[in-house]
Amino acid sequence: MITYIQALQIIRDSASRMRTETERIALVDAVGRVCAEDVAAGLDIQPFDNSAMDGFAVRLAEFPATTAPVRLKKAGVMGAGRVCEGAVLEDGCCWHVMTGAPLPAGTEAIVPIENTALDGDFVIFGEKPAAGQHIRYAGEDFRKGARVLSAGDKVSAGHILPLATLGIADIVVYKKPRVLFIPTGDEVVDDLRKDLRNGEIYNANKFYAFSFLTACGVDVTIHDTIRDDPEQFVAALRVAESEKYDIIVSSGAVSAGSFDFVREGLEKAGARILYHKIKLKPGKPNLFAELASGALYFGLPGNPVATAVGLRFFVSEALRVSRKQKPELPVYARVMNAFSKKPGLHMVLKGKLEYWEDGSITVDILDGQESFRVSPFLSMDCWIYVPEDRGMVKSGDTVEVFPLLPG
């Protein structure tokens, strides 16, 4: 049996060799995708000096050191999107400018319109403005050539605003990995509208896996449930290999019971088993293999929380490494309640974060830590990481925390 850290390293080594392809997609389709190339600014933003206010463009030389009112002639009007070629601030003059309007040559400050008074064709100014006041300078936000996104960055909704501002219409991303999820078991019922008979449970793992993997930005397919039939499983594996999936994930039939056929089936199909069983709770009977096709195979336990943990910390890690994403860093939080475990076993606990006004972060260890209890998922928002060399977690201790879904 290997440690959690050893399992992660084996996964990372395999995932780093996964075949990856790229494609160019429109910006409107980019949220949730992972950049395959650096993205650079193709122009300065702002593209030109412009006004941040509705007001008047002036030269500082027009304002003496005294605070006496200054009277300047209005030479013209400059609106956003309207360029007055050759516009220049001449002696004794000002220009009326709108927010976003380009500036006449010689502009050194903008005086907001509410700080002035009109007198026919003249404008009265009460005080001297500061140099650069209310001017947006070219390149103040982005300089041409500046890196906007890096290869491996996951595009968020927040990225769309600067990308569109820069006129970036499309980007190169990794193609979505193709992932097949295979639920197993005679006891699971796929139709959630069907009444359960004695000994049956609903196939919650299949629905959670689809939602989780979709959120990870993959093209996910859910296989028909494989009943406790080893030959059916081997046949499904051979079809899956022919269809060139990048990752195959199964839930159940991976322990040491009479109906646990996943390892035997993988060996019959020529897979290379890289580990089977981890010092982990929940999820001890995890299995990881490489298929002859090059696909990675994750055999996750059937207990729903163990499946969730395997998806979150093993499958998502393979996806992260294969798409050259940066390492995921934990949040550090102060735990509010104590928890005791045996040293030598890595654990991940269901938790709920709270953010305080002073900037501190605390986390509650929720009731119901058993691997069959899913009710805590109604309120949990994170997993609490308790390494194998740690026994007692005391109230007030600092712990590492990971969000329910990877970033």
Q: What is the mean pLDDT of residues 294-299?
A: 97
| d(C-alpha 124, C-alpha 72), whole Å | 7
| d(C-alpha 96, C-alpha 114), whole Å | 12
Q: Residues near 333 by Cβ (< 8 Å), separated by ≥ 6?
A: 353, 361, 362, 363, 398, 399, 401
Q: What is the mean pLDDT of residues 57-75?
A: 90
Q: Which CATH number fits domain 331-403: 3.40.50.620, 3.65.10.10, 2.40.340.10, 2.170.270.10?
A: 2.40.340.10
Q: Give pLDDT, residue 355.
A: 96
Q: What is the mean pLDDT of residues 312-334?
A: 96
Range name among 57-71, 143-157, 276-290, 382-396 with the lowest pLDDT average: 57-71
Q: What is the mean pLDDT of residues 394-407?
A: 95
Q: Give pLDDT, residue 119.
A: 95
- CATH 3.90.105.10 range(s) for the chain read 26-44+149-174
Q: What are phi and psi of 82, to 5 degrees?
A: -115, 115
Domain 50-136 -> CATH class: mainly beta
CA-based torsion, 176, 406, 189, 193: positive or negative: negative
Q: What is the mean pLDDT of residues 253-282?
A: 91
- CATH 2.40.340.10 range(s) for the chain read 331-403
At residue 127 the predicted structure's pLDDT band, cuts being 50, 70 and 90, is: confident
pLDDT at 257 over 80: no
- For the domain 26-44+149-174, what is the CATH code? 3.90.105.10
Q: Give pLDDT, residue 83.
A: 75
CB 286 within 8 A of CB 313: no
At residue 391 the predicted structure's pLDDT band, cuts being 50, 70 and 90, is: confident
Residue 10, SS3 per DSSP: helix
Q: Give pLDDT, residue 287.
A: 97
pLDDT at 15 over 90: yes
Q: Give pLDDT, residue 31.
A: 96
Query: CATH homologous superfamily for 4-21+175-322?
Result: MoaB/Mog-like domain (3.40.980.10)
CA-based torsion, 312, 315, 321, 325: positive or negative: negative
At residue 134 the predicted structure's pLDDT band, cuts being 50, 70 and 90, is: very high
pLDDT at 54 over 80: yes
pLDDT at 137 over 80: yes
pLDDT tens string 173-200: 999 999 999 999 999 999 999 999 999 9
Q: What is the DSSP string of 202-228?
A: E-HHHHHHHHHHHHTT-EEEEPPPB-S
Q: Give pLDDT, residue 227.
A: 92
Q: Give pLDDT, residue 195.
A: 97
Where is pLDDT greater, at 390 or 206? 206
At residue 68 the predicted structure's pLDDT band, cuts being 50, 70 and 90, is: confident
- CATH 2.170.190.11 range(s) for the chain read 50-136
Cα 203 from chain centre: 28
Q: What is the mean pLDDT of residues 53-60?
A: 97
| d(C-alpha 113, C-alpha 53), whole Å | 8
- CATH 3.40.980.10 range(s) for the chain read 4-21+175-322
How distant, in Å, are the alpha carbons of 145, 341, 365, 379, 383 from that of 394?
Answer: 50, 11, 11, 22, 17
How distant, in Å, are the alpha carbons of 7, 69, 194, 370 from that of 243?
Answer: 27, 80, 31, 37
Conformational region of residue 394, where left means phi above 0, alpha means psi within -120 to 50, and beta covers everything else: beta
